[in-house]
A and B are shown apart, each in its own frame.
Chain A
Amino acid sequence: MDQFNEIINTFFFIILPYLSIFTFLLVSIYRYRSRSFVYSSLSSQFLENRQHFWGMVPFHYGILTILAGHLVWFLFPKTTLLWNSVPLRLYIMEVSVFIFGLITFTGLINIIIRRRSDKKTRVITTTTDWIVLILLTIQIISGLYVAFFYRWGSSWFASSMSPYLHSIFKFNPDLAFISSMPFMVKLHIISAFSIILLFPFTRLVHVLVVPNPYLWRKPQVVRWNWDRKKIRDIENNSI
């Protein structure tokens, strides 16, 4: 039995993570370079505009906040624990993260209802869309479950999850913190890595092409057929 457990653990917490991380990196880059046409958020707002708001907005604001939280806990576990050492601060952190989790969940439910109920949107819904939505549902439900029933959130993540993740990134995986976790925690981890694994094959790639240059580029964009700067410079020098 122990041996069986070990195989399971090795598969889900060592092989799967590495498989997902490398697939994510290689396929995302390959896809961007050779088939950049398919990088798109594939918006469906044009076909249905009302339910769209109640799905996309809560979902995205929620998930981006939660992801930012996870990132901070992962990168700065000590700071997180220090912050949480005062109970009031811990409660504020836990409650607000839980609320954002619920917002995300509400948004996701609305997205799913919309995809089921609106005729036109259904036409452009693919199987991969459904796989993404189902995985995200599992991810969010398991996250909320852990946060609510085990009262573990940020502190737990910083003290147990971060060392495990750090060990993965140091290429020296250490399962000590993971193997004895309850099922829901394990599910949360497994579904997270599954999402990362499938990420480059789905519409989720839109997260990689968020348009940050817009924030500092000039409003108008002109592309030249010839090297304009060269022409102007040569001429300008000769005058």
Chain B
Amino acid sequence: MDIRSQISMVFHLDKCIGCHTCSIACKNIWTDRKGTEYMWWNNVETKPGTGFPTKWEDQEKYKGGWELKKGKVVLKSTNKVKTVTNIFHNPNMPTMDDYYEPWEYDYKELFNSKESDDQPTAKPVSMVTGEYIDIKAGPNWDDDLSGSPIYARNDINLENLTPEQKKQMFEIERLVMFYLPRICNHCLNPACVASCPSGALYKRGEDGIVLLDQKRCRAWRACISACPYKKTYYNWSSGKSEKCILCFPRVETGQAPACFHSCVGRIRYLGVLLYDADKIEEIASLPDEKLVEAHRSIILDPFDEKVISEAKRNGIADSTIDAAQKSPVYNFVVKWGLALPPHIEYRTLPMLFYVPPLLPVMSAQDGDTVKNINNEFFPDFEKARVPMKYMANLFSAGNESFIRYTLEKQTAVRAYRRAVTVGDIDMKDAEKALLKADCSKEEAEAIYKSTSLSTFEERFVIPASHREQAIEMYEDPLKLKQETGFGFKDKPKRGL
């Protein structure tokens, strides 16, 4: 056993309102520099939709993540030989066209334009070339299902849905959607790290944050195609790749990452998980249908005496073990089984988990109106507006039973709390629902509290980082704003 600790995350999708506050918080701190304008380390996409960069989930196109070859887990995009032969030209590399060309507006037109019959407009200017451009796409062009014939209908997760299920989704096209906020998953088996020819990418031993060493990166760009979530980005100006750093300077000082801190829907949870690093390869090599369960099993019970003593033996601080015991992530993922990993079939073992949204819409089109097809409080999930198959493609490698489990439990908790507070549901029925959903009353209370009432300190349980000296690297954090941000003190001058 080789116990390590990992800062992990849960996003409760039922609570996300799609406001993009998280994305803006991140952009203002980290990606307001030249060459990073197009990057969204945190982005929020509308599902169904093709996301950012467009169709990022299509691994036939991008070749991200891992695959099984003769029972061994290997990178899809590269290997030792291909690293040499493809280094000059990476055949799977997404380009700016797959993201978007960043722009700003030429506001002086509004003041300087000559008098005429029309209102002056602020013309868009490319932030790359400085020329006027025609905007064709942006990072959230398909927000709230806009342009869904091009975007939503091309969502890769719709692939193996029956025509009926597809029809069901698009019947009331404008009603069915949810938001998927995404950051780097700080994976246990990161494809980005494994692909980097220079060894610039690494996982921090003590908290599992995956970072990209700017001084070691040589722009070989292997990580850009290897990360199946497209969460490493290439800075075209500095000639270095960059990625989400989970705001480690904030985490090290006990603050939640900016996107977590600012989240309006309070959908985000952050906490420590203890896991057994010896098992990573074995689990990543299992067949698709076993992955969700196995991924969960790598996470260890922080209350188990044996786990605690092994963890201590491995140099894990008492404060970290304490944080692991209070971790909301442990509750959502392991104890309650509510949160699931995104696209586990990419085999990077992501450490960001999603609670799938309940989506109250349980209705069908009836002529010109919408009628409620489900009057019972415990609905038939087979008829859910978003087919379970779709959710399963996103969150459980196609296995619907995990989706059903979390949706049933969430519904039961609601019914139970409604019986408690409003009383228009019979407590007996609510208890029956809880029983069916594998949930005790205490658990229901705990889920309710954690979902609806939890405070800052309960949502973000951040252990002391014990990195006291490391902080000295960052002299004055604001000195290099809009240049390097935090980090080493050289100005990031482009290599000649």
Contact = CB atoms under 8 A, between A and B. Distances in A.
Interface in A112-147: 119-120, 122-124, 126, 128
B237 interface: yes
Contact of A220 (B83, B189, B206): B189
13 contacts: A37-B214, A38-B496, A39-B218, A42-B239, A47-B96, A201-B496, A203-B495, A211-B83, A211-B197, A214-B198, A220-B189, A221-B196, A228-B205
B362 interface: no
Q: Which 8 residue pairs are nearest across A and B when measured between Cβ atoms?
A: A211-B197, A38-B495, A219-B194, A224-B205, A231-B315, A42-B239, A40-B239, A221-B202
B221 interface: yes
B204 interface: yes
A225 B205 contact: yes
Contact of B219 (A41, A214, A235): A41
A221 B201 contact: yes
Interface of B: 75, 80, 83-84, 87-90, 93, 95-96, 128-131, 189-190, 193-194, 196-199, 201-206, 214-221, 224, 234, 236-240, 280, 313-315, 466-467, 470, 488, 490, 492-496
B199 A221 contact: yes
A200 B95 CA distance: 29
A: interface residue count bin:
35 or more
A225 B495 contact: no
Query: DSSP class of B's interface residues: helix, strand, loop or mixed?
Result: loop
A56 interface: yes
A226 interface: yes
Contacts of B220: 41, 43, 211
Q: Which of A40, A48, A128, A203 has the most CB of B within 10 A?
A: A40
A10 interface: no
Nearest to B211: A223
Given A35-B490, A228-B205, A220 B193 contact: yes
A206 B218 CA distance: 7
Contacts of A203: 495-496
A106 B89 CA distance: 16
Nearest to B314: A232
B89 A57 contact: yes
A212 to B, nearest CB: 9
Contact of B495 (A39, A120, A214, A223): A39
Contact of A38 (B93, B234, B493): B493
Interface in A202-239: 202-203, 205-206, 209, 211, 213-215, 217, 219-226, 228, 231-232, 235-236, 239
Contacts of A215: 80, 83-84
Contact of B206 (A41, A211, A225, A232): A225
Contacts of B218: 39-41, 206, 209, 211
A128 B470 CA distance: 36
A222 B203 contact: yes
A234 B167 CA distance: 63
B495 A205 contact: yes
Contacts of B201: 221
Interface string A25-60: 000000000011111111111111100110011011
A223 B199 CA distance: 11
A37 B83 CA distance: 22
Given A40-B495, A44-B236, A47-B236, A213 B89 contact: no
